[in-house]
Amino acid sequence: MMSPPVAIAWTIWRRHRWGLSAAAAVTVVVLVVAAVLRSNMSPGEALAKSAIGFMPLLIVAFYVIAVFSYGFDLDVAGGGSCFPARQFTLPLRTADLAGWPILYGAVAVGGLLLAAAGLLFRPAGLDIPLIWPAVLAAAQVAWIQALLWWPFGLQWTRPVVGVVLVHLPVTGMMVAQKLDVSESFFLAYSVACLGLAVPAAFVGVSRARGGIVPQWDWLSALGRATARTTAKPFRSALRAQMWFEWRRFGKTLPLLVTLVLPLSLLGLFLEDNTPPILARSLGLALGLTVFLAGMAGESVVKNNPWSRELYAISSFAATRPMTCAELVGAKLRAAAKATLVSWIVVILLIAAALVLSGTHRVLGEMIDAWLAARPVGEVIATVVAVGAILVLLTWKRLIESLLIGMAGREWVHRVIIFIGVVIAINFLIAAMWLLIHPEYHERVRVVGPWLMALAVALKLLAAALAVRALRRRRLVSDRTLAAFAFAWLAIAATLFGLLTWVIPGEVVATTAIAMGIVLIMPLARLSAMPLALAWNRHR
């Protein structure tokens, strides 16, 4: 019989063995590649490049935290505990159930930080401390575990508490650094954070195991009293399905933006906002929405979030009397609505932050300077083009994993992730190699457009094959296909017109702009979605 620590480690390993193996491989590859490349660089260059090597390690750390927090089963927005309920009936003490994953997570992430400091940054010449960052990382893991394992009893409480509390260890440390306190304080602070987080996680699991969940009766009573029982009927099945999809995932991105964007706008209140700093802050805020869309996309992908089979379509959804193309269309439209609502939130939040911080004057000066330097039409075209691309990218990020979700097979999801990790590792190695071999940069500049052309050709070929299959299986009518092609071409032509107007030909070639638009705009995956859904719906 296995002992509790071995049994708990085995259950985690058994489920995530491929992912954890890949994470370990990425870590080893990054550290080895960094060590090899360092030998050919000057100390200053090595230090600058080591920061690039830290990015994949950071992604590995996030993955490891998710594994040891049981973060792959969770409903973050739900009111219940994310700790797997099946473990509550095991003949183990709560201290064992919670304690071992906390220890494993702390050792894994703390060890990763230790490795990054000792094998990546220090050999590159950055004399960073070893112990307290590792302890702080362990504390951060325990904070996240406590957050995820506490039963809050009310939906959306967890994300709000998370935004308010979970960043405290790291934020506190950053404030302390500004105050220039001693190293021993950092260690004491990190240990204190860990000392607070571990009991919090224990108590969370204990309460979840005992069914001690806060009751929000007054709120439930209020909700029931105000719940509408006689809403207007939907005008069509498509509108009903759009409402269904919107209710299922539509609010995730606007909510994420509302919670996270204010933090990224804090700089407007704290920093000395010269035009370059303000431009950087606003750029980051705008880019953040596109980044968050990728995270929110996970909620779009899951067809069946209330079931154990996350990706399989529920029989309730599968028996809607709609075609696969209509079901896909409802998802895409709901995603478009989520995108637009999110951008309205972004604009309102940024406008409020600009006015409240007084930085709107700096922005006004920047716009005046821009208008003085360029024609009004060009400025407007640039703003429209950038805005359109941001909105398009947000929508694309929101739906780009949808094809995997539509296929409804866990193994497809895993294979795609595996291929993605392999490509990312190879890309990383190639990029790092190119960084230290500037003699090849000219060759890359020559080959680049041809590689782009190849990517465009592959994308168009994939789309053509998908359309052929759609027609053969009669999943989409010719009229719908024609409307889709017209809309796609209209958007692409508009973007092309705007971008060729504002970007001089000598900066970026017109052909490169055209190919970039084709690569940015969703086409092949979009065309294949009804096929994937049909594969899932009619097994």
Partner 1 sequence: MTDPDDVIEVNTLTRRFGSKVALDGVSLSVPRGAVFGLVGANGAGKTTLIRHLLGLLRAQSGTVSVFGRDPVADPVGVLSRIGHLAEDNDLPGWMTIAELMRYTEAFFPNWDRDFADKLRRDFELDPRAKVKHLSRGQRTRAGLVVALAYRPELLVLDEPSSGLDPIVRRDILGAVIKTVAQEGRTVVFSSHLLDEVERVSDHVALLVRGRVAYCGPLDDLKAGHHRMTVRFNEDRPKPPVLTGALAWEGGGPEWTALCHGRLPDLRAAAEAVGGCVVDQHMPSLDEIFVARAGAAGGSPR
**Contact residues for partner 1, defined by CB under 8 A:** 224, 227-231, 233-237, 239-241, 243-244, 247-248, 304, 306-307, 314-316, 318-324, 474, 537-539
**Contact, 286 vs 393, CB < 8 A?**
no
Residue type (1 letter), 527 = S
Q: Cβ 472 to partner 1, closest distance in Å?
A: 12
Give me 515's structure tokens.
Answer: 């190919």
Give the nearer residue to partner 1 in terms of CB position, either 368 or 410: 410
Cα–Cα–Cα angle for 253, 256, 259, rounded to 5 degrees: 150
Give the nearer residue to partner 1 in terms of CB position, either 211 or 276: 211
Q: Cβ 446 to partner 1, closest distance in Å?
A: 50
SS3 state of residue 313: coil
Give the nearer residue to partner 1 in terms of CB position, either 308 or 445: 308
**Contact, 12 vs 101, CB < 8 A?**
yes
DSSP string, 123-185: TTT----SHHHHHHHHHHHHHHHHHHHS--SSTTHHHHHIIIIITHHHHHHHHHHHTT--HHH
Give the nearer residue to partner 1 in terms of CB position, either 147 or 313: 313
The residue behind tokens 């600009």 is 354
Sign of CA dihedral 240, 528, 481, 386: positive
Give me 3's structure tokens.
Answer: 């002992």
Q: Cβ 497 to partner 1, closest distance in Å?
A: 39
Q: Cβ 236 to partner 1, closest distance in Å?
A: 7
Give the nearer residue to partner 1 in terms of CB position, either 17 or 247: 247
Give the nearer residue to partner 1 in terms of CB position, either 51 or 221: 221
Q: How far apart are CA 198 and CA 217, in angstroms?
A: 30
Q: Cβ 337 to partner 1, closest distance in Å?
A: 17
User: Going by C-beta distance under 8 Å and a sequence separation of 6 or more, which residues neighbour residue 382?
Assistant: 498, 502
Q: Cβ 196 to partner 1, closest distance in Å?
A: 34
Q: Cβ 533 to partner 1, closest distance in Å?
A: 11
Q: What is the DSSP letter of 473?
A: T
Give the nearer residue to partner 1 in terms of CB position, either 237 or 508: 237
Give the nearer residue to partner 1 in terms of CB position, either 184 or 230: 230
Q: How far apart are CA 483 and CA 481, in angstroms?
A: 5
* Chain centre distance of CA 318: 28
Give the nearer residue to partner 1 in terms of CB position, either 93 or 471: 471
A 10 A CB-CB count for 444 gives: 12
Q: Cβ 473 to partner 1, closest distance in Å?
A: 9
Q: What is the 3-state secondary structure (H, E, C) of 238-296?
A: HHHHHHHHHHHHHCHHHHHHHHHHHHHCHHHHHCCCCHHHHHHHHHHHHHHHHHHHHHH
The residue behind tokens 């939130």 is 345
SS3 state of residue 364: helix
**Contact, 146 vs 71, CB < 8 A?**
no
Helix (H) or strand (E) holding 431: helix 410-435
| Dihedral angle of Cα 185, 187, 193, 199, to the nearest 10 degrees | -130
Give the nearer residue to partner 1 in terms of CB position, either 93 or 539: 539
Q: What is the DSSP letter of 539?
A: -
Give the nearer residue to partner 1 in terms of CB position, either 159 or 267: 159
Q: Cβ 419 to partner 1, closest distance in Å?
A: 25
Q: Cβ 483 to partner 1, closest distance in Å?
A: 19
Q: Cβ 227 to partner 1, closest distance in Å?
A: 4
